Structure 1
Amino acid sequence: MNAGSGGGDAAERLRRALAGEDAGAARLLASSGRVFRMGGFDWDLVTGTMAMDAAALDVFDMDPAQYDGRPESLGSRVLPDEARRLDTLVAQALKDGSAEYGAYLRIRRRDGVHQWTHTQGIVHRDADGRPVRIIGVVRDATHELSESAARLGLDEGRRRRAGVVEGTTAALAYARTVQDVIDLLNDSHALEHFGAASLVMGLLDAGRIHLVAEGPEGAFVPGTRFTRVDEPYPMSEVIRTLRPRFIESPRDFAASFPVLWPHISGLGITAAVYLPLIAQARPIGALGLLYSDKTGFSEDERTLLVALGSSIAQSLQRAMLYEQEHDLAEGLQQAMLPRRIPEVPGAQTAVRYRSARLGRDVGGDWYDLIPLPDGRVGAVIGDVQGHDTHAAAVMGQLRIVLRAYAAEGHTPSTVMARASVFLHELDTDRFATCTYAEVDLGTGVVQVVRAGHVDPLIREADGHCRRIPVEGGLPLGLSAEFGRLDYPATTLELDPGQTLMLYTDGLVEKPGADLDEGLQWLSALVRRGPADLQELADHLCDVVADRGGEDDVAILLLRRESATGVPGAGRFRQHVAQSDPEALSSARHMIRAAVRAWGAGERADEIELVADELMTNALMHTDGGAIVTLRILGGSPRRLRVEVEDRSSALPRRREAGEAGVSGRGLLLVDQLSDVWGVESRGSGKCVWCEFTVPA
Structure 2
Amino acid sequence: MVDRGTPPAAAPLPDDWPMRAEANLALNRMGSFDWDLDGGRLHMDDPALEVFELSPDEYDGDPVTLAVRVPIGEARQLDAQVSQALKDGSTTYGAYFRIRRRDGSLRWTHTQGHIQRDGEGRPHRIVGIIRDATQELVHVTERTALSEERKRQTSVIDETTAALAHAITVQDVIDVLSDSQGLGRLGAVSLLMGLLEDGRIRVVAEGQAGSYVPELEYTRVDEDYPMSEVVRTLAPRLITSPGEFARRYPRLWPHIEPLDVSAAAYLPLIAQARPLGALGLLYRGKRNFTPEERNLLVALSSSIAQSLQRAMLFDQEHDIAEGLQTAMLPRTVPTFPGARIAVRYRSARFGRDVGGDWYDVIPVPGGRVGAVIGDVQGHDTHAAAVMGQLRIALRAYASEGHSPATVMARASVFLHELDTDRFATCSYAEVDPADGTVQLVRAGHIDPLVRHPEGPCRPLPAAGGLPLGLSAMFGQTDYPVTRAALDPGETLILFTDGLVEHPGKDLDDGVRVLTDAVTRGPHEVEELADHIGAAMGERTGGDDMAMLLLRREGEPIPEIGRRVHQHVAPADPEALALARHMISEAVRNWGAGGRADEVELVADELITNALLHTDGGAVVTVRMPGGAERRLRVEVQDGSSTWPRRREPGETGVSGRGLLLVDRMADVWGVEARGSGKSVWCEFNVQDRSEN
Q: Secondary structure at the match of 2:419?
A: coil
Equivalent position SS for 1:382:
strand
Match of 1:331 in 2: 323
> Structure 1: 5+ residue runs without aligned partners?
1-62, 84-102, 106-114, 117-140, 655-663
Superposed CA deviations along residues 219-277 of structure 1, whole A, max 9, x for unmatched, are 45675333333333222222233232221221232333344334433432211111111
* C-alpha distance in structure 1 between counterparts of 2:215 and 2:619, whole Å: 72
Distance 1:500 1:567, change over 3 A: farther
Structure 2 residue 334 is matched with structure 1 residue 342: yes
TM-score, length-normalised on structure 1? 0.68
Runs of 5+ unmatched residues, structure 2: 1-9, 33-92, 96-108, 111-132, 650-656, 673-677
Moved more, 561-570 or 242-251: 561-570
Residue 381 of structure 1 and its aligned partner are, at CA, apart by 1.9
Q: String of CA shifts for 1:113-153, please: whole Å, max 9, x gaps.
A: xx99xxxxxxxxxxxxxxxxxxxxxxxx9965553467689
Letter in 2 for 1:507: L
Range that drifts further, 455-464 or 608-617: 608-617
Partners of 2:428 and 2:597 in 1: how far apart? 29
Structure 1 residue 486 displacement after superposition: 0.9
- Within 5 Å, which residues of 2 pair with 1:98-497? 144-148=136-140, 163-192=155-184, 194-220=186-212, 223-497=215-489
Measured after TM superposition, the shift of residue 162 of structure 1 is 5.1
Q: Does residue 561 of the first structure (1) align with residue 560 of the second (2)?
A: no
Q: 2:450 is matched by which residue type in structure 1?
A: I
Instruction: Single out whichever of 441-450 and 187-196 deviates more from structure 2.
Output: 187-196
Percent identity over the alignment is: 57
Matched, 1:526 2:515: no
- Provide the residue aligned with 1:681 in structure 2: 670
- TM-score (norm. length: structure 2): 0.69
Distance 1:330 1:401 in 2: 21
User: Deviation digits for residues 452-484 of structure 1, max 9, x if unmatched?
Assistant: 222222222223222111112222222222222
**Aligned mates of 1:275, 1:579 — CA distance in 2:** 73
After alignment, is 157-166 or 421-430 more displaced?
157-166
- How far off is 1:556 after superposition? 2.1
Work out the CA distance in 1 between the residues paired with 2:214 and 2:475.
70
The alpha-carbon deviation at position 317 of structure 1 amounts to: 1.2
CA contact (8 A) 2:561 2:625 kept: no
1:640–1:151 CA distance, 2 compared to 1 (3 A): farther
SS in 2 for 1:189: helix
Distance 1:239 1:537, change over 3 A: same
8 Å CA contact 2:353–2:543 kept in 1: the answer is no
Contact persistence 2:498–2:545 (CA under 8 A): yes
Q: Deviations over 1:297-343 (max 9, x none)?
A: 34444343333322322222122111211122222223322333333
Deviation of 1:371 after TM superposition, in Å, equals 1.6
Mean Cα deviation higher: 212-221 or 446-455: 212-221
477-486 or 677-686, which deviates more: 677-686
Distance 1:569 1:519 in 2: 40
- Residues 441 and 563 in structure 1, CA contact (< 8 A), matched pair in contact too: no
SS in 1 for 2:549: strand
C-alpha displacement of 1:441: 1.9
Q: Is 1:505 the equivalent of 2:497?
A: yes
Tell me how far apart the structure 2 counterparts of residues 152 and 264 of structure 1 sit (CA, whole Å). Answer: 36
Q: CA deviation at 1:161?
A: 6.4
CA–CA distance in structure 1, aligned partners of residues 137 and 335 of structure 2? 81
Q: Secondary structure at the match of 1:519?
A: helix
Rg (Cα) greater in structure: 1
In 1, Cα distance between equivalents of 2:229 and 2:358: 50
Which residue type is aligned with residue 511 of structure 1?
A: P
**Hey, what does 2:689 align to over in structure 1?**
694
Q: Quick check: 2:238–2:264 contact (8 Å CA) kept in 1?
A: yes
Q: Structure 2 vs 1, CA of residues 232 and 425 (structure 1 numbering), >3 Å: closer, same or farther?
A: closer
User: Which amino acid in structure 2 is aligned with residue 680 of structure 1?
Assistant: W
Q: Which string of whole-angstrom CA distances, capped at 9 and with x for unpartnered residues, describes residues 319-371 of structure 1?
A: 21112111222222233223333333332222233221442344322222222
Q: Which moved more, 1:644-653 or 1:482-491?
A: 644-653
Cα distance, 1:416 vs structure 2: 1.5
One-letter identity of the residue aligned with 1:278? I
Residues 607 and 636, structure 2, Cα contact 8 Å, conserved in 1: no
Q: Please report how far the alpha carbon of residue 620 of structure 1 lies from its aligned counterpart in structure 2 after TM superposition.
A: 6.1
Deviations 1:634-681 (A, max 9, x none): 999x97958585888566999xxxxxxxxx9xx99xx9xxxx964533
Number of residue equivalences: 566
Which 10-residue stretch deviates more, 627-636 or 524-533? 627-636
- More displaced 10-residue stretch of structure 1: 172-181 or 145-154: 145-154
Would you say the 8 A contact 1:405–1:415 is kept in 2?
A: yes
Distance 1:635 1:486, change over 3 A: same
Deviation at 1:170, TM superposition (A): 2.8
Distance 1:270 1:566, change over 3 A: farther
Q: Is the 8 A contact 1:651 1:679 kept in 2?
A: no
Q: 1:536 to 1:587 in 2, by over 3 A?
A: same
TM-aligned CA deviation for residue 521 of structure 1:
2.2
